Structure 1
């Protein structure tokens, strides 16, 4: 978002607010964190926050939009790498497993957000559904290139395994979880390539 008051340049205060909110939302949850905490840690005034974000929901949506861009970028890099479709699925699973192993990992930002915003009519819920629809469509396309059989079941299986790994990675040994996820994806690829149902 560009604010005209900064002559077409992105606002440093907005960036700081968003970075601060993203860090705290991801680490501690959305509903548990109030505007006063974000303003204090970002070292801006409430007026500055409201100039960039009319309310907390808009700040949450901006946080999710940044998370969406990061996942799309990560996935786009894999897809554009010129790998075979099966190797692209493997590379995507490696990337997910590496994310689970990062310090401070606390699960999927989107699943965490939707758990706090269960109302399907809420803007946050809709943003999460849109992101997940895109991700499922992308994975479905990759599996469709692996084998001509219908790719929907394998893609849904991949996404569910990814969701499980994201949850387990917060609770158990992330190294083991990442390896188990990658092993599961390899078996899924073998089954899908053979034309068998997952």
Structure 2
């Protein structure tokens, strides 16, 4: 075990490998980047890479795990502000919009990855599905706190708005894309808040 890892911290070499992979996989795609490129840019040997990541697939999964944790931290940051659920959704949406407008934005890392791994049984595909289920569940829980009406349909609508903005942000003016996305979220929240089930005449 490398020095540092024995103390519960990843080694410097592992961090360099993962950070390098995260950057180039996101910027250029997973299949287009080979192990030799990552080893060279991280300035480690192949033996060091294989000590930490037995194969490229392990490195890809670690990359997605790192991105997953960053998005979860983004969601926690919005939730930890102690705002009402609707304001939390808006804060999360603003954070997503900031990401779309940031330099080097290349779309959703998970949608990009699943396009390269279409086999539903592949571990990378499964990692993408697990992340997206967590995101859907998180948004569903927030929307359920706004209105007792069923929230999953509205949550799926939110996810589709987010996915559309992520795709369009790579193709069109990201500022205009984000304005459209945020207006869409506002409309969704208004519609969801007004969706209380009608009380029966016998109630």
**Which aligned pairs between 1:48-59 and structure 2 lie closer than 5 A?**
48-59=48-59
Report the more deviating stretch, 7-16 or 63-72.
7-16
Report the aligned-residue RMSD: 1.2
The correspondence of residues 24-103 of structure 1 with structure 2, limited to 5 A, is: 24-103=24-103
How far, CA to CA, are the matches of 2:54 and 2:10 in structure 1? 17
- Deviation of the 1:5 alpha carbon: 4.3
CA distance in 2, matches of 1:80, 1:110: 25
Alpha-carbon distance change, 86 to 112 in structure 1, aligned in 2, over 3 angstroms: same
Deviation (angstroms), 1:128:
0.4
User: Per-residue displacement from partner, 1:157-186 (whole Å, max 9, x unpaired)?
Assistant: 000010000000000001111111000000
Equivalent residue pairs, number: 195
Q: Does the 8 A contact of 2:2 with 2:11 survive in 1?
A: no
Radius of gyration: which is bigger?
2
Distance in 1 (CA, whole Å) between partners of 2:196 and 2:30 is: 42
Asked whether the 8 Å contact 2:35–2:56 carries over to 1, the reply is: yes
Instruction: Output the CA distance in 1 between the equivalents of 2:23 and 2:101.
Output: 17
- Partners of 1:77 and 1:104 lie apart in 2 by 22
Q: Deviations over 1:54-96 (max 9, x none)?
A: 0000000000000000000000111121101110111011000
What's the counterpart of residue 14 of structure 1?
14
Question: Once the two structures are superposed, what CA deviation does each residue of 1:22-64 show, in whole Å capped at 9, x if it has no partner?
Answer: 0000000000000000001111110010000000000000000
Question: What is the CA–CA distance in structure 1 between the aligned matches of 2:27 and 2:17, rounded to whole Å?
Answer: 15
* Matching residue of 1:116: 116
1:127-171 Cα deviation digits (max 9, x unpaired):
000000000000000000111100011000000010000000000
Segments of structure 1 that go 5 or more residues without pairing to the other structure are none
Q: Where in structure 2 are there 5+ consecutive unaligned residues?
A: 198-203
Matched with 2:201 is: none
Alignment TM-score, normalising by the size of structure 2: 0.93
